[in-house]
Amino acid sequence: MTTALITGSTAGLGAAFARRLAADGHDLVLVARDTKRLREQATELHDLHGIEAEVLTADLSTDTGIEAVTDRLGSRRNPVDLLINNAGFGNKGRFLDVPMADELTMLKVHCEAVLRLTSAAVEPMRERGRGGVVNVASVAAFVPRGTYGASKAWVVQFTQGVAKDLAGSGVRLMALAPGFVRTEFHQRAGMGTDNIPNWMWLDADNVVAAALADLSRGKTLSIPDPRYKTLMGAAKLVPRGLLGGLTSRTGRKYGPQ
Ligand SMILES: NC(=O)c1ccc[n+]([C@@H]2O[C@H](COP(=O)([O-])OP(=O)(O)OC[C@H]3O[C@@H](n4cnc5c(N)ncnc54)[C@H](OP(=O)(O)O)[C@@H]3O)[C@@H](O)[C@H]2O)c1
């Protein structure tokens, strides 16, 4: 029996990771801010799959929240075998429309928390000679897209860099870069989605299935779905200026909200 810790487990992609890993027989440590929702999720997954599901309430935009999770990841008695750094959010609007405090909170959750949780997880994993970390980025990492895209570009670079440093240790790291996924993300950010064509939407369960398959193959970057693989390949050929004009609008300020 192995244990997976998932941040942002109560909704969207994190909930899809929790469903899939519980169905595969993994015990879980579920992390988010909403304790009631975490408890309901833990009970449901335990009842459905007979796994143990711990609840860890933590706000990853605070040092206290980050430390609560790093303490759990450092436990030698109840080791965590797989860390899914998934918690994240969007801020509506372009640069200067978004309050600086919100931009800094994003960097704390998307970058600092991911850095500190990854570090806390991989140390005991390296000692045991096995383990895995999936850091959820976005295809926004590859196009000009403000603080959100920049934070996700950091996630990709950081993850692939650490994966290289730990090559041969038995610890695998992979950045996951999905396109648009139907979750609570856009609604929470107050972003309109009417200008996103139907074909661009991915299903969270399919993204998770593709991600776990890529992790088991030893990939350090997973871009689920052939549509986005093709798009990201084509994006490399488009001049950055033109790409910025195309991508800075989708799902941000413009279009119906
Ligand atoms: N949806 C997309 O189109 C898309 C595309 C590419 C990448 N992503 C990335 O995928 C990841 C998951 O997003 P999602 O779409 O699944 O979003 P979601 O449906 O809004 O779920 C976000 C989850 O993160 C938790 N969370 C948010 N802020 C937190 C904080 N400060 N501390 C702890 N937990 C926090 C939320 O629970 P609480 O509110 O209870 O804390 C919730 O469980 C994010 O990193 C996002 O950037 C999403």
Please identify, by atom number, the ligand 1 atom nearest to the C-alpha of residue 38. Answer: 40
Burial of 130 (0-12, 13-18, 19+ CB in 10 A): middle
The pTM score is 0.94
Are the CB atoms for 229 and 223 separated by under 8 Å?
yes
Query: What is the whole-number distance in angstroms between the Cα of residue 167 and the centre of ligand 1?
Result: 29
Residues carrying an active site annotation = 148
Question: Residue 240: what residue type?
Answer: R
CA distance 161 to 157: 6
What is the full per-residue pLDDT of the chain (257 aa) written as tens digits?
799 999 999 999 999 999 999 999 999 999 999 999 999 999 999 999 999 999 999 999 999 999 999 999 999 999 999 999 999 999 999 999 999 999 999 999 999 999 999 999 999 999 999 999 999 999 999 998 899 999 999 999 999 999 999 999 999 999 999 999 999 999 999 999 999 999 999 999 999 999 999 999 999 999 999 999 999 888 877 766 666 655 555 555 433 22
CA distance 100 to 80: 35
Please identify, by atom number, the ligand 1 atom nearest to the C-alpha of residue 139. Answer: 6
Q: Determine the 3-state secondary structure of 112 from DSSP.
A: helix
Give the per-residue pLDDT at 257.
26
Strand order, beta sheet including 221-222: 53-57, 27-32, 3-7, 82-85, 131-136, 171-176, 221-222
Are the CB atoms for 73 and 56 separated by under 8 Å?
no
Task: Verify whether ligand 1 is closer than 6 Å to residue 55 (CB atom).
Answer: no
Please identify, by atom number, the ligand 1 atom nearest to the C-alpha of residue 180. Answer: 3
Task: Verify whether ligand 1 is closer than 6 Å to residue 60 (CB atom).
Answer: yes
Give the per-residue pLDDT at 252.
55
